[in-house]
Chains A and B, each alone.
Chain A
């Protein structure tokens, strides 16, 4: 059974860079086409940040596109998230998630596996 685990600093200073790693166990990263990051704040709820393929292709939410980067390390079975120029509005619980797809010509995507979440607070 696949397990996802987020890790990284829980406190980041304003204007700094948030960095998180998601370690995947129980399955290989290359067995899923894409891996996503989702964050959750009390104010904005659940927000999809973006996704990365096991080959390194990315797609980002326009709301954070200018500040976000994702990377993948298949040798370590890890994906990473970096968010620059953070403010208090970036304080959130960050999740990595794995999508699944229906077997259809135009497949429906849903997230069937999530990490436990990493709370990151932006504060001086």
Chain B
């Protein structure tokens, strides 16, 4: 299976901050990389698909970059509703696998 590793596991930030989360794959996944946001008690919600495509309805402050084994999710100006946990997920090969999550908390 392809292992997905996110860093950091958690971070503290303030409203208006720029936040970047990194996801690394154990092997090349090309651009088969998606990002999800999960709020407590809710299902994951897709933000970015195919590494850099913004899902319809998702605010433009979210962006994704990368290819191969290293990817980033950036939130340019953190909003109160963005305090949540974020997951990357690969759909390139084998069973779909997720990163362990990055929790964005209030500083």
Contact = CB atoms under 8 A, between A and B. Distances in A.
Determine the main DSSP class of A at the interface with B: strand
A108 B43 contact: no
Nearest to B98: A46
B32 A109 contact: yes
Interface residues of A, number: 20
A117 B43 contact: yes
B75 interface: no
Interface of B is mostly: loop
A27 interface: no
Interface string B46-69: 100110010100000000000000
Contact of B100 (A45, A102, A114): A45
B49 A45 contact: no
A108 B95 contact: no
A52 to B, nearest CB: 14
A71 B1 CA distance: 25
A114 B95 contact: no
Interface in B18-54: 31-32, 34, 36, 42-46, 49-50, 53
A100 interface: yes
A118 to B, nearest CB: 11
A95 B87 CA distance: 15
B95 A45 contact: no
Interface of A: 36, 45-48, 61-63, 95, 100, 102, 108-112, 114-117
9 nearest A-B pairs in the assembled complex, by CB-CB distance? A114-B43, A110-B49, A46-B98, A48-B96, A110-B34, A108-B50, A109-B91, A61-B95, A108-B32
